[in-house]
């Protein structure tokens, strides 16, 4: 029963229906709401349809009925009430009081009189379609009855003085970047809800390893929305989780068949969202449909550029947006001091279907593409400067929109060349963002589509046989080849590709791309440890970039010239080049090249056998490079730090695990920078010998299985808790070491006992330990303290939870 079904009371031995299914994943929310109710007289649970507001309110009310409200808890279900004039009399009926016989002021007066001397809780469920009437009645009742508290559920707040709004969020879903271990997934609230409801329709259903990935992706695609998850789980009678997932492309046709005793709007996902749509104004509906072209979120400026026109002018758009936020159709969050908006995927897809039905989809998607082409071009122009990190952050936030714009260019005839321009600006994006595979995907697909759209003739041939290629196509090919180099494609293949790029650039007179080809040849020379040739190529490219007025590209070649000399040339020349790059970068407020110069200095210090200096420079470089998620260059910094800590084999083994994590994230063939590979293998062998195979593997796994934040904290010597664990897991491990039971841990951290149990199991699995005692010993070792177990407890302290 996700939303209420009938009016009732919890007072005394009142007969409100018991819960038929468990409420999953909401324990922390019920505690927070109860705390709000203890201090505020009106608490409104707001959120999109199907998020579970009613179930949550009824659980809080049931708990409160036992202690906090001696004169009763009364529940008024308002979903089926259409006439606001009947509101007071309908609520009065929940008190089991005779109706005064006609609607309006008399009923409100009787209701106020009945509640005036009571310490009671009134639950007003589903207020959104009567929000003004509910606001007036609630305000009057709270003024008349000082002992009254009101708990409302609504897709928008009531908007009266003293209201505390509690946004009800969807259930947490599994991290898409994490694995699909059964232990972790069974502890996830969205997965647990799916499994519980599936077992109700298919007795014996449990989560198995073959189904784990499909169930995880299914609840992610459903945004953790409880109502949608329950409808999907009901399909388990006739479909496997994978089959449900495959049919989710039309979720509104698939997700039907809710409870036969529920209201019509509670039986299908479409009916539930239809209810929200009916409550919107015409302009709100129009904006809902138009905003569905965005993916992953949007800001106000982008919304205005894409969605505003004569039919929906900017001032009206802002009012419509405010209305959609108030109705929980659009969610608003503040990111770096600016408002950013997004819709749940289910809500967005509903709007998208409405937009398609209006025959406006292509026009809006074209405007959306133009907006992000403009945005990325501007980012490219302003990349070298003080806003570099800001631009990168903005592009990362809008990455789903960039994907959608590129997809439009790929799907629509004649748009591939516009897609190529979008895909190569700014040039650094795919490299610094650690998205090499995705960059290659878009570039190769768009290049092929552009070639096909021109019928294989003219400048799209790419072999120079029938005429020069356009600048954007040559630049795309050069960029694609560089991504191939960074992913470790075979040397012969990339050399052949570079030769073709060089010929196309020369034939078309594209001097900038010719210079980038020389730069890329320089990278390959570094890979071969031919540092003299590399330095010469970087110097040649730099000269051309300076002649063209491309200062940022010239400085990039200069810093790589420094790296080539740091590895195998003249140290003094490398030092001079580093100083030049750092001075120019400081003058322009640039960050990424300063990080690269610090990497060159770290390599110089390592070559001079100054490990402390090497570590200092490498950590400073990471601080500059990490905001860009430039894992390629961060990995080289970690390699330097690992060599500098080789006298601490345990720490070095963990750093080698971190390197494995970083290189895997780049999705290529490399396990180390090619010019560092020999040293890397020597270090790996030496540390294995020093530690022994078992200890080495244990420490290596701790680095390789860490989150990025944990890994970087270890690299920078800035621990976030016990190494290898999240902050919460670190807290749990410390409490296990103190001898606390799962029940004790739950009480200490104010979490569910089941959650504490899941944390302990997850920690044991992550660390490869077999028991709580081993965990306690491990935790003491990480503290640097004596390796001792937890204190022994007497019989009275022992718990079955252990």
Instruction: DSSP for 466-522, please give it.
Output: SSPPPHHHHHHHHHHHHHHHHTT--HHHHHHHHHHHHHHHHHHT-HHHHHHHHHHHH
Contact 252, 268 (CB under 8 A): yes
**HEC profile for 361-410?**
HHHHHHHHHHHHHHHHHHHHHHCCCCCHHHHHHHHHHCHHHHHHHHHHHH
- Angle, nearest 10°, between helix axes 361-382 and 416-423? 30
Q: Return d(Cα 64, Cα 66) in angstroms, integer.
A: 5
Q: What is the mean pLDDT of the chain?
A: 85
Can you state the percent helix, strand and coil of the chain, rounding each to 5? 65, 5, 30
Q: Got the DSSP string for 287-325?
A: HHHHHTT--S-B-HHHHHHHH-SSSS-HHHHHHHHHHHH
Tell me if 577 sits within 8 A of 562, measured CB to CB: yes
Q: What is the pLDDT of residues 382-438, one digit of tens each?
A: 989 998 888 888 898 899 999 999 999 999 999 999 999 999 987 788 887 778 888
Kindly report the CA angle at 685 between 681 and 691, in degrees rounded to 5?
145
- Residue 261 pLDDT level (bands cut at 50, 70, 90): very low
Read off the tokens for 418. Answer: 């516009």
**Three-state secondary structure along 585-653?**
HHHHCCCHHHHHHHHHHHHHHHHCCCHHHHHHHHHHHHHHHHHHCCHHHHHHHHHHHHHHCCCCHHHHH
Greater model confidence, 107 or 119? 119
What does the pLDDT read at residue 433?
74
| Tokens found for residue 64 | 């409160």
pLDDT at 776: 72
Confidence of residue 268 (pLDDT cuts 50, 70, 90): confident
- Residue 556 to residue 460: CA distance in whole angstroms: 30
Residue 19, pLDDT score: 61
Phi and psi at residue 56, to the nearest 5°? -65, -45
- Distance CA(535)–CA(186), nearest Å, equals 54
Output the six-digit token pair for 684. 């790996």
C-alpha R_g of the chain: 31
Residue 585 tokens read as: 């970068």
Per residue in 493-522, pLDDT tens? 999 999 999 999 999 999 999 999 999 999
């Amino acid at each position: 029963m996700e939303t209420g079904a009938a009016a009732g009371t919890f007072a005394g031995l009142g007969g409100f229906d018991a819960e038929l299914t468990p409420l999953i994943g909401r324990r922390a929310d019920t505690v927070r709401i109860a705390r709000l109710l203890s201090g505020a007289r009106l608490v409104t649970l707001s959120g999109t349809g199907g998020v579970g507001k009613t179930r949550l309110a009824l659980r809080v009310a049931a708990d409160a009925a036992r202690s906090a409200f001696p004169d009763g808890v009364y529940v008024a279900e308002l979903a089926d009430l259409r006439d606001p004039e009947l509101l007071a009399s309908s609520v009065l009926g929940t008190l089991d009081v005779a109706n005064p016989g006609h609607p309006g002021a008399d009923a409100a007066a009787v209701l106020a009189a009945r509640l005036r001397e009571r310490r009671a809780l009134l639950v007003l469920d589903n207020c959104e379609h009567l929000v003004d009437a509910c606001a007036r009645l609630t305000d009057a009742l709270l003024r008349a009855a000082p002992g009254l508290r009101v708990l409302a559920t609504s897709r928008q707040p009531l908007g009266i003085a003293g209201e505390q709004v509690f946004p009800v969020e969807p259930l947490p879903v599994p991290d898409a970047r994490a694995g699909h271990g059964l232990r972790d997934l069974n502890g996830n609230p969205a997965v647990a809800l799916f499994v519980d409801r599936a077992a109700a329709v298919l007795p014996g259903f449990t989560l198995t390893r073959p189904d784990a990935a499909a169930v995880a992706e299914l609840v992610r695609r459903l945004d953790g929305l409880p109502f949608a998850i329950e409808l999907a789980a009901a399909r388990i009678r006739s479909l496997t989780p994978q089959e449900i997932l495959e049919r989710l492309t039309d979720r509104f046709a698939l997700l039907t068949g809710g409870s036969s005793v529920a209201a019509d709007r509670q039986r299908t996902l479409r009916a539930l969202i239809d209810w929200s749509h009916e409550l919107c104004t015409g302009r709100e509906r129009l904006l809902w449909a138009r905003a569905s072209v965005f993916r992953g979120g949007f800001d106000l400026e982008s919304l205005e550029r894409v969605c505003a026109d004569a039919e929906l002018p900017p001032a009206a758009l802002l009012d419509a947006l405010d209305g959609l936020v108030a109705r929980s159709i659009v969610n608003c969050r503040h990111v770096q001091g600016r408002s950013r908006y997004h819709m749940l995927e289910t809500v967005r897809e509903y709007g998208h279907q409405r937009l398609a039905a209006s025959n406006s989809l292509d026009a809006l998607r074209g405007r959306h593409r133009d907006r992000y082409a403009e945005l990325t071009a501007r980012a490219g122009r302003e990349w070298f400067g003080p806003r570099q990190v800001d631009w990168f952050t903005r592009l990362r936030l809008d990455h789903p929109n960039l994907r959608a714009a590129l997809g439009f260019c790929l799907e629509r005839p004649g748009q591939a060349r516009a897609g190529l321009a979008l895909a190569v600006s700014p040039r650094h994006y795919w490299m610094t963002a650690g998205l090499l595979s995705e960059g290659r995907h878009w570039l190769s697909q768009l290049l092929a589509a552009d070639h096909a759209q021109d019928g294989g003739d003219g400048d799209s041939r790419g072999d120079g046989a029938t005429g020069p290629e356009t600048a954007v196509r040559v630049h795309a090919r050069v960029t694609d080849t560089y991504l191939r180099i960074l992913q470790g494609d075979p040397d012969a293949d990339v050399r052949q590709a570079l030769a073709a790029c060089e010929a196309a650039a020369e034939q078309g007179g594209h001097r900038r791309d010719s210079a980038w080809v020389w730069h890329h040849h320089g990278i390959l020379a570094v890979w071969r440890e031919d540092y003299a040739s590399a330095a010469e190529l970087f110097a040649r490219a730099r000269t051309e970039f300076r002649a063209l007025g491309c200062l940022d590209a010239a400085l990039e070649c200069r810093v790589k010239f420094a790296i080539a000399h740091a590895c195998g040339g003249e140290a003094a020349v490398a030092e001079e080049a580093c100083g030049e790059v750092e001075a120019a970068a400081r003058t322009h407020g640039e960050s990424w090249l300063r990080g690269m110069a610090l990497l060159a200095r770290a390599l110089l210090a390592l070559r001079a056998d100054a490990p402390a200096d090497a570590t200092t420079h490498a950590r400073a470089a990471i601080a500059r490079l990490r905001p860009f998620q430039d894992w390629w260059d961060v990995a080289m910094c970690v390699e330097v730090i690992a060599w500098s800590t080789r006298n601490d084999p345990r720490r070095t083994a963990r750093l080698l695990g971190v390197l494995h994590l970083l290189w895997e994230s780049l999705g290529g063939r490399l396990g180390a920078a090619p010019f560092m590979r020999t040293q890397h293998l020597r270090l790996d062998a030496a540390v294995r010998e020093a530690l022994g195979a078992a200890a080495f593997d244990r420490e290596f796994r701790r680095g390789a299985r860490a989150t990025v934040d944990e890994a970087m904290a270890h690299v920078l010597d800035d621990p976030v808790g016990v190494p290898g664990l999240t902050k919460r897991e670190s807290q749990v491990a410390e409490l296990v070491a103190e001898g606390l039971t799962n029940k004790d841990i739950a009480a200490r951290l104010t979490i569910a006992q089941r959650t504490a149990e899941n944390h302990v199991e997850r920690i044991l699995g992550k660390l490869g330990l077999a028991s709580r005692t081993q965990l306690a010993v491990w935790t003491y070792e990480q503290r640097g303290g004596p390796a001792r177990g937890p204190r022994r407890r007497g019989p009275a302290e022992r718990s079955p939870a252990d």
